[in-house]
Amino acid sequence: MTGVSIARRDPAARLAAFTRVATDSVDDAADAVGRIFCPHRLTPERRTSSEFFALHNSAIFNGLSVNYVAYGGSVSIDPGCLERFFLLQIPVHGSARIKTASRDIATVPGACASLLSPTMPTQMMWQDDCAQIILLVDRRLLEQRAAALSGRPAGAVEFEPAVDLSSAGGQALQSQILEFVDIAERLGPRKPLSPVAATDIREALLGALLHGQRHSASEAIDRFAGRAEVLPPSIQRAREFLYAHADEPLDLVQLAATAGVGIRALQLGFRRHFGMSISEMLRDIRLAQLNARLIAAAPDDSVTEIAFELGFTHLSRTASAYRAKFGETPSATLRGMN
């Protein structure tokens, strides 16, 4: 069956100019979709059913892709652990059952979506001509952002897999992804996103994921951001000053004057509320800014120049600290995103 006739079986399909797979062959679908996502077992509920088809449209950007995936009839999908990426699946029509290591959830349009983490084994049943809009996020990109927000080294992040689409966080996620789909459709497959637009979309989606859905790093992020408790005004002022002047040498006298307390009181306050010293927080802020700049940088940008602009003067120490936090060197981040 041709791709055109497959697409006609789902007239609501999005991203029509980005078709990667359109087939009524189970084996071809498993092979082609597996190369885009990851290898998996694909089994129709009725192997000989003429209902089966697979449609996969995919717009790919650095570290992210937005996809429209539809299966005719009902199919089981067993990818095991995703390993390299997170998948947010928002149902458009039909329904799905998702089993992870700890949960068994049902997703339906307008009510519940699923958010799959790379370290958790997953099995799925897509039912009744199910179609979903799927956001794929590179694992490294999200885990590095979680590290930047939490003040901790990068590590595995596992999300609560059920996304309540009626909640504020779920609505924000759905809105961000649909906006991403709209932008991709307006651009088409031949026109790339501008660097500014790519950065804006990436930041909005990462923020919506990490702040809108509970996960294993949520508590650490809340604490580092001062949301876990009400910060004293002096500590809040000092923290804001560090962010605003992160590229400048640390001046404890000026910082204490801005906060309105003594240096010792400020030092004790940072230990109590953030679990780190003032200088450790400043270094973490700078490393997070370096990571964000490298992810958004052009291929010919210089790691050295970016680091100097952010106040780093000892490049070997910076590279070691960056690797300890993000699991790779600054140059590896720059290469990986270009």
The CATH number covering residue 77 comes to 2.60.120.10
Mean pLDDT of the chain: 90
My answer on whether 27 and 91 are in the same domain is yes
User: Which pLDDT score, from 0 to 100, does residue 9 have?
Assistant: 78
Which 3-state string (H, E, C) describes 147-162? HHHHCCCCCCCCECCE
Does residue 170 share a domain with residue 240? no
* Residues 6+ positions from 255 with CB-CB distance below 8 Å: 238, 241, 242, 263, 266, 278
Regarding whether 161 and 22 lie in a shared domain, the answer is yes
Residue ending a domain, among 189, 220, 251, is 220
177 and 295 assigned to the same domain: no
Q: What is the mean pLDDT of residues 41-55?
A: 82
Same domain, 191 and 233: no
* pLDDT grade for 213, boundaries at 50, 70 and 90: very high
Whether residues 278 and 329 fall in one domain: yes
Please give the model's pTM, rounded to 2 decimal places. 0.87
Give the pLDDT confidence of 56-85 residue by residue, as tens digits. Answer: 999 998 789 999 999 999 999 999 999 999
Domain containing 254 — which CATH number?
A: 1.10.10.60
Last residue of a domain, one of 220, 248, 271: 220
**CA proximity to 318, closest of 298, 333, 337:** 333
Domain ranges, residue 275:
229-336
What HEC string does 181-201 produce? Answer: HHHHHHHCCCCCCCHHHHHHH
pLDDT at 101: 79
pLDDT > 90: percent of the chain: 73
Return the closest-CA partner of residue 86 out of 224, 223, 217.
217
* Maximum Cα interatomic distance, the chain, rounded to a whole number of Å: 77
Over 90: is that where the pLDDT of 154 sits? yes
Examine the domain organization and report whether 177 and 67 are in the same domain.
yes
Say whether both 206 and 302 belong to one domain. Answer: no
Say how many residues make up the chain.
Answer: 338
* Surface-to-core class of residue 281, CB atoms within 10 Å of its CB (0-12 exposed, 13-18 middle, 19+ buried): buried
Strand ranges inside the chain, DSSP E: 19-23, 41-44, 54-61, 64-71, 75-80, 85-99, 104-107, 112-116, 122-138, 162-164
Structurally, the chain folds into a number of domains equal to 2
Q: Does residue 55 share a domain with residue 17? A: yes
Give the pLDDT score at 103: 87
Residues 43 and 182 in one domain: yes
Is residue 10 domain-shared with residue 136, that is, in the same domain?
Answer: yes
What pLDDT is attached to residue 229? 65
Q: 64 and 158: one domain?
A: yes
Q: Which of 220, 252, 280 is the last residue of a domain?
A: 220
